[in-house]
């Protein structure tokens, strides 16, 4: 009986590993049909007879993205939404442009591992391991260096050079998804209850930011570290130990680059 249970356990484990990525194609290609009303896990295939060469083409990755935003970076995505021919292939890519001192804020890709190569400039990269260690692994990359970010782990990039920087990222999903931590936690819709955030971040719930930091009236329960994502004027946050920590914020109306 024990051996049977072991075999069943191994079978289930092997099945879960086999299914833990984008579905494999069962034909030469399955070009995404964005106009289909059918809902599936992925994107419905276009009629192969209607497929054209342009379905496998994306143009524009040579152009620099607009980095004139709050975080100083821009991500040009080449996912299945931009390149329908990627459908079912389990790959995608992106170009990441950085202004001087620009960052790609801490984020995760729930469905993909990311491999990044620096095309120009110097970029500090890093990721944090899962609980309980939460270990930070970080490195400064130069042109030609390659770094990999494991699937689902929080990671970031920062331009530490004196000029603009460019990187190209490859991802192991046609639709890797991105969760920018600051946006998700402090910019959720509706807001996460302020009591939860105050306790999670160990800050005083009644901190009052400058009035101009808000473009809408926060709910009474909101932590006032809340809608300003990174802070522009300086806001003081009182820790329970009565130490004063200073953070800088950017209002939620500012453009934040899409993470890759």
List the binding residues.
Answer: 104, 107, 109, 114, 155
Q: Which of 147, 156, 152 lies closest to 73 in space, CA to CA?
A: 156
Known binding residues for oxalate: 104, 109, 114
Give the residue from 249, 75, 79, 92 showing the smallest Cα distance to 156: 75
User: Could you tell me which residues are annotated as the binding site for Mn(2+)?
Assistant: 107, 109, 114, 155
b/e sequence 87-123, b meaning 16+ C-beta within 10 Å: bbbbbbbbbbbbbeebbbbbbbbebbbbebebebbbb
Cis, bond preceding 132 (omega within 30 deg of 0): yes
**CA triple 61-66-70, angle to 5 deg:** 135
Q: Which residue has the tokens 């800050």?
A: 203
CA dist., res. 108 & res. 29, Å (int): 29
Rounded-to-integer distance, Cα 118 and Cα 104, Å: 14
List CB contacts of 222: < 8 A, sequence separation 6 or more: 191, 194
Is 108:153 a contact under the CB 8 Å cutoff? yes
- How far is 256 from 67, CA to CA, in rounded Å? 10
């Amino acid at each position: 009986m024990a051996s049977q249970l072991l075999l069943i356990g191994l079978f289930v484990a092997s099945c879960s590993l086999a299914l833990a990525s984008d579905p494999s194609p069962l034909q030469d290609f399955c070009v995404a049909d964005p106009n289909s009303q059918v809902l599936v896990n992925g994107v419905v295939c276009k009629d192969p007879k209607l497929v054209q060469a342009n379905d496998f083409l994306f143009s524009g990755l040579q152009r620099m993205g607009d980095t004139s935003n709050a975080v100083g970076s821009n991500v040009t995505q080449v996912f299945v939404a931009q390149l329908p021919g990627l459908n079912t292939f389990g790959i995608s890519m992106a170009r990441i442009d950085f202004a001087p001192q620009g960052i790609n804020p801490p984020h995760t890709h729930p469905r993909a591992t990311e491999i990044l190569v620096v095309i120009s400039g110097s970029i500090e990269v890093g990721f944090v391991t899962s609980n309980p260690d939460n270990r930070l692994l970080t490195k400064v990359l130069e042109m030609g260096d390659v770094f990999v970010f494991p699937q689902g782990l929080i990671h970031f990039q920062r331009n530490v050079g004196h000029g603009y920087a460019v990187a190209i990222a490859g991802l192991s999903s046609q639709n890797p998804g991105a969760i920018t931590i600051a946006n998700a936690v402090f910019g959720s819709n509706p807001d996460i209850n302020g009591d939860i955030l105050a306790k999670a971040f160990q800050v005083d719930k009644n901190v009052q930011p400058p009035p101009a930091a808000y473009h809408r009236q926060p709910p009474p329960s909101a932590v006032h570290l809340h809608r300003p994502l990174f802070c522009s004027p300086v806001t003081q946050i009182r820790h329970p130990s009565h130490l004063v920590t200073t953070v800088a914020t950017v209002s939620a109306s500012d453009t934040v680059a899409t993470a890759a």
